[in-house]
Amino acid sequence: MENSTLLTSKKEGFRFEEVTVNELLAGYEEGSFTVQEVVQSYLDRIEEFEDSYNAFTFLNPNALEEAKDMDRLREEGSRLGPLAGIPIVIKEAVDVKGYPSTFGWAPLSKSCGGIELLPEKDAEVTARLKEAGAIILGKTNIPAFSCAYNANTSWDGPTYNAVNRELSPGGSSSGTAMAVSGNFAVLGVAEETAGSIQVPAAAQALVGIKPSFGLIPTTGVTPLAGSTRDVLGPHARTVQDAAIMLDVMAGYSEEDPKTKASIGKVPEVGYTTFINTSALKGKRVGLYGPGWRTESLSQETQDLYEQAIRELKNQGAEVIEDPFAGTDFAAYMKSKNSFIGMETFFHDLEKYLNHLNPDLDSQTVFEKAGQVPWAEGGPLNLAHDMLNPETAMADPSLLPDLTEFNEVKTELLYLVNKVMKRYELDAFVYPQMPEAIPALNVEEIKSTTISEINISGLPLITVPAGYYESGSPFALAFWGKMWSEAELIGMAYAYEQATKHRMAPNLSKI
């Protein structure tokens, strides 16, 4: 760990650029700086550049007071949490008591003339982060109903990519990725139903952990497919920081029954103990190929991927070309609806609203809002057939028939496990995108892992792996069997430390 006292001379401009969790914690202990100084520095940076990047929907007006309280507790010798004094951001979709929950949609934003939904308590993850001592700087921008690969449909306007304002920021965790990549915060809470952790992380040169379904509670999070696909995870600039955050976020919650599956699956020693620069040595990893997807990589992506494969080999990994060849995996997945699992939307929404305020229900909310998001031109129009609103809204307390979803999930897990066993694989390493990130106004972003990873519920970690000639980031996706986060963290860390591809973005003012 680098001595935090070097931060002043090491950084030019913004003192805490690319600072890590452990650097900050060490600096607090040494007295090199206070939490108040750190938080003020971030708030000053946000004030300078926020108008150019629009990462936030709401800023925490009490952040400095909370920082002062943390300094007082440290001075008094109080026992502090693992994120004590670490500035973080939280995706708009995640409830924070006292902040409106807008779904990123104008009819639910008071500032746009819509109605206001005000959570009476924190989401479970928010509560865990607060208990760990994190300082929440604010909530971050998303597209309406988290349903896009950018934030262009947000009531708060688009968010811009920290690496290049002309590129898509990725979505739907657009604001979180921008805030962390652009050094507005150290860590961020992201959320994924269909790529929304991994895509913005890849688009903005970040580490993103899309965890196993059920590892982290999603109670108090606006759903798209809460019963089947939705997950929360960290955005960070380093693998170690992401692992530190995952240690706080992961684990069983009585409020979220699906997390019961995580009992016994979270390492007692913590995810950070798997940080190891030799973790790739002797590992067998499967590579992307037509057995998984028939779509080819662009030539430049292929070149960058080949460079990454050489780097993996240099760290002692053995690579297996296209291990899904001959399995019919690609054809099977292509025959399925990529929105499958979202049929639980209304059921999950009812549970979410009840957590937010026991007096709320979806019918009342949409009547007051005066619009429904699944109407033609609405943010959920693309998934209208899967949502089946007429039937679902009749009695949203009933969980819809998930027979088809469970069959597809079971088949995908069977095929993945079969391939891993056949080739004795430890993981797969793919380019997260098959081509360079498109421009801001492009709605679709291609990926190699959506929706296969989301339906199956498997974990995935993105790691910066270089840059295209245009300057847009290239990322690797490390993924593997259920509950293998610890092993993936080790491998991702070994690759990251051997290559150190991430470069701090140079922000600009408009």
Identify each DSSP E strand in 34-170 by its residue range.
56-59, 87-91, 135-140
Kindly indicate the confidence band of residue 199, based on its pLDDT and cuts at 50, 70 and 90: very high
User: Which residues are bridge partners to 209 per DSSP?
Assistant: 461
Is the pLDDT at 332 greater than 80, yes or no?
yes
| The predicted structure's pLDDT at residue 65 | 98
Residues with catalytic annotation? 91, 172, 196
Given a cut of 50, whether residue 9 has pLDDT beyond it is no
48-104: pLDDT as tens digits: 999 999 999 999 999 999 999 999 999 999 999 999 999 999 999 999 999 999 999
Q: What is the mean pLDDT of the chain?
A: 95
| pLDDT score, position 10 | 43
pLDDT (tens digit, 9 = 90+) per residue, 204-256? 999 999 999 999 999 999 999 999 999 999 999 999 999 999 999 999 999 99
Note the pLDDT tens digit of each residue in 343-372: 999 999 999 999 999 989 998 999 999 999
Cα–Cα dist 131/209, whole Å = 21
CA distance 46 to 162: 12
Domains of the chain: 14-499 (3.90.1300.10)
* Cα–Cα dist 49/37, whole Å: 19
Residue 386: its pLDDT value, please? 79
262-282, pLDDT tens digit by residue?
999 999 999 999 999 999 999
Q: Which DSSP state fits 506? A: -
What is the DSSP pairing of strand 135-140 with strand 87-91? parallel
Among 192, 162, 149, 210, smallest CA distance to 445 is for 149
Sole residue written with tokens 């790691």: 463
pLDDT the model gives residue 12: 58
Question: What is the rounded CA–CA span in Å between residue 333 and residue 336?
Answer: 5
pLDDT tens column, 451-509: 999 999 999 999 999 999 999 999 999 999 999 999 999 999 999 999 999 999 999 99
Between CA 420 and CA 62 the distance in angstroms is 49
Using alpha carbons, select from 499, 485, 87, 504 the residue that is nearest to residue 247. 485
Task: Say whether pLDDT at 395 is over 60.
Answer: yes
Q: Which residues pair with 233 in a beta bridge?
A: 190
pLDDT band at 5 (very low <50, low <70, confident <90, very high): very low
pLDDT of amino acid 6: 41
